[in-house]
Amino acid sequence: MPDDPAVLPAAPVTKVAGVTTGGAYELPVYPFVAPAELRGKMGRHAVVVVGAGLAGLTAACDLAQHGVPVVVLDEDDTVGVRGASSRGICYAQKSLEIFKRLGVFERIASRGVSWSVGRTLAGSDEIFTFDLKSLPNFGASEQPPFINLQQFYVEWYLVDRAYELGTVDLRWRNRLAGCAQQRDGLMLEVETPAGRYEIETQWLIDCSGSRSPLRSILNVPVHTEHVVDRWCISDVRFKTRPPAERWTWIQAPFNDDRAVWQHLMADDVWRLDYQMAHDANPEEFSQPAIVADRLRRQFGADVDYELVWVGPYSYRGQCLETFRVGRVFFAGDAAHVMSPFGARGGNSGIQDADNLVWKLALVLEGKAPEHLLDSYDAERRAAAQQNIRITTRTARFLSPQAPMDRLFRDAVVSLAREYPFARAFVNTGRLSSPTHYQGSPLNVGEGGGRSLQNIALTLPDGKRGDLVDLVEYAGYRVLGLVTQPVDRYFAEELDLLEEKYPVRFFRLQADVGVTSAFRTVVDPDERLAAELGCDGPSTSLVRPDLHLAGTLDAAGAPDIERALRKLLALT
Ligand SMILES: Cc1cc2nc3c(=O)[nH]c(=O)nc-3n(C[C@H](O)[C@H](O)[C@H](O)COP(=O)(O)OP(=O)(O)OC[C@H]3O[C@@H](n4cnc5c(N)ncnc54)[C@H](O)[C@@H]3O)c2cc1C
């Protein structure tokens, strides 16, 4: 296993053309090991994941933690994109909570940059400022609103974790080339440096990114939106540090009145993103001399910096018409692609995996029917569509094409300088936040679908923990959080439900002093009770992905059982 990532001293970039530069980071290279199938051993696997990017590695680690062995195929042998800079930089609270459960949060937090303040400028006027920590939808979690970290570090930590878990069979330089659906499984064709082989699996999660081969193999219709907007990344290390805040300019005088992003990542590297004119030549725009000129205009003539990486990019919007074809699930960029505004791409892929894995694990355990898996498409395709809608609106604001869009944008910018009401329309990216599955077929009551924050609690063993710890404590079962009294008779009924269904019940109470014969979780400030919407005696069912399935007022055991059966797609 490689050591902790080390960054080479940034070499001055001499050759800049498209995405062919880079090399300022030393990334690990994982060995190709000839798989058992090449030695004639055929087995049937429970799950194969194609693609060891953010989505695939999250799914693999999560499956392993649920006790499901998994094979991961990746055509490459490293993390990140070879020769290019980091793509993603911002990881949102919901993803950080998932990473805590997967055991990589501490590494991410200690290398990354935690931030919550964002400023939006037009010229030299600051027209909008926020501090995410003060917002109720970010403030209750044990994880910060955002951490910035180069994407390859996150992938690297997940690879380390996958090796550590021991049941993830990571197969580097294994390229998926074919997939045939069988009656109760799939036969995959894989190319390796040592030849081709076939592998049989019950389920497949396609996390192979925006060029997924499975989309065409399985003929999945894709809705695509092409965009003309183009940007240039300049990753830079400064001798004097700007503040660790997210700054965005809608109109930056130092970029000919076009948009600019400024964000700190790990290792003191700043991500500066410059919007280009539509007729700009991307290669010319990315020349070190031109970059240097822009940096001098932005930071002053004596700016002292090292260029870590520079290169142009463009984006598009894409969404598959279904995220499930028989035994194949699409997740991450394989399922949906969106503009980077608001950091929704990678974060939503991580959340796709989080949504799918607990369901798949229950199906493989025989605790829920295959029908439960249909909710993955219902919930995550709706999330993707919402994310694409939101990011497309930002793109229209930042790069207005239609005269009406331009008029609107210019009016907002000019009004926002003076009037607070107009600041709500300033849109340089609505930051990634979890999707609430309001229309989900698995919802069973009040508040159904709401994503819960990782709130601090005292666990039944008296240890300080949080909601993520409670999910682990409960063995990834559904949580039944009871605020109504649990007498001996009711406790026996709950025990019976635990025997029949994958659920663990806990009495939720605010006061440490109150003793209860039943397993107790202390919610000292009643923050969790507030999130669950409990304003009286109730039972809340919480899914292992920390979405509330619903809160039932003063429900008896038969009502709770009915709700559980709906949540597990048993009815
Ligand atoms: C400039 C930019 C900035 C961004 N910023 C952010 C951000 O701040 N936050 C955020 O959340 N997202 C961000 N994104 C989006 C994010 O980078 C992507 O959404 C994310 O990389 C998608 O992850 P994935 O695992 O789905 O796919 P990928 O990361 O593309 O991984 C796919 C994997 O599949 C493998 N593969 C492909 N084909 C095969 C095959 N046939 N067989 C085997 N393996 C195969 C590849 O080698 C690769 O490892 C940004 C994107 C860009 C371009």
Residue 38, both tokens: 């090449």
Question: Does residue 313 have its Cβ closer than 6 Å to ligand 1?
Answer: yes
The answer to whether residue 461 is domain-embedded is yes
The answer to whether residue 377 is domain-embedded is yes
136-161 per-position pLDDT tens digit: 778 889 999 999 999 999 999 999 99
Question: Does residue 342 have its Cβ closer than 6 Å to ligand 1?
Answer: no
Residue 430's pLDDT band (cuts 50, 70, 90):
confident
The answer to whether residue 343 is domain-embedded is yes
- 80 and 208 assigned to the same domain: yes
Rounded CA gap, 282 and 505, in Å? 58
The count of other CB atoms within 10 Å of the CB of residue 289 is: 8
- 364 and 465 assigned to the same domain: no
- 380 and 470 assigned to the same domain: no
Q: Residue 381's domain is classified under what CATH number?
A: 3.50.50.60
The count of other CB atoms within 10 Å of the CB of residue 489 is: 8
How far, in Å, from the CA of 275 to the mean position of ligand 1? 21
- 168 and 80 assigned to the same domain: yes
The answer to whether residue 511 is domain-embedded is yes
Question: Does residue 269 have its Cβ closer than 6 Å to ligand 1?
Answer: no
Q: Are strands 538-542 and 503-509 parallel, antiparallel or unpaired?
A: unpaired
Mark which of 355, 390, 425 sits at the end of a domain.
390
Atom 52 of ligand 1: nearest residue by CA position: 87
Q: Residue 527's domain is classified under what CATH number?
A: 3.40.30.10
The answer to whether residue 299 is domain-embedded is no
Q: Which domain holds residue 537?
A: 456-567
Q: Is the dihedral of CA 404, 405, 409, 412 positive or negative?
A: positive
How far, in Å, from the CA of 209 to the mean position of ligand 1? 5
Q: What is the mean pLDDT of residues 200-218?
A: 97
448-466 per-position pLDDT tens digit: 999 999 999 999 999 999 9
- 464 and 341 assigned to the same domain: no
Residue 6 clears pLDDT 90, i.e. is over it: no
- 78 and 168 assigned to the same domain: yes
- 384 and 473 assigned to the same domain: no
Most confident stretch, 198-207, 309-318, 411-420? 198-207
- 377 and 477 assigned to the same domain: no
The answer to whether residue 286 is domain-embedded is no
- 355 and 217 assigned to the same domain: yes
How many domains does the chain fold into? 2
Residue 49, both tokens: 């994941």
Atom 27 of ligand 1: nearest residue by CA position: 209
Mark which of 337, 360, 390 sits at the end of a domain.
390
Mark which of 348, 371, 390 sits at the end of a domain.
390
- 105 and 198 assigned to the same domain: yes
- 376 and 503 assigned to the same domain: no
17-59 per-position pLDDT tens digit: 222 234 467 788 999 999 999 988 888 999 999 999 999 999 9
The answer to whether residue 438 is domain-embedded is no
Question: Does residue 80 have its Cβ closer than 6 Å to ligand 1?
Answer: no
The answer to whether residue 542 is domain-embedded is yes
Burial of 483 (0-12, 13-18, 19+ CB in 10 A): buried
- 348 and 205 assigned to the same domain: yes
Angle, to 10 degrees, between the axis of helix 54-65 and the axis of helix 93-102?
40
- pTM across the whole model: 0.94
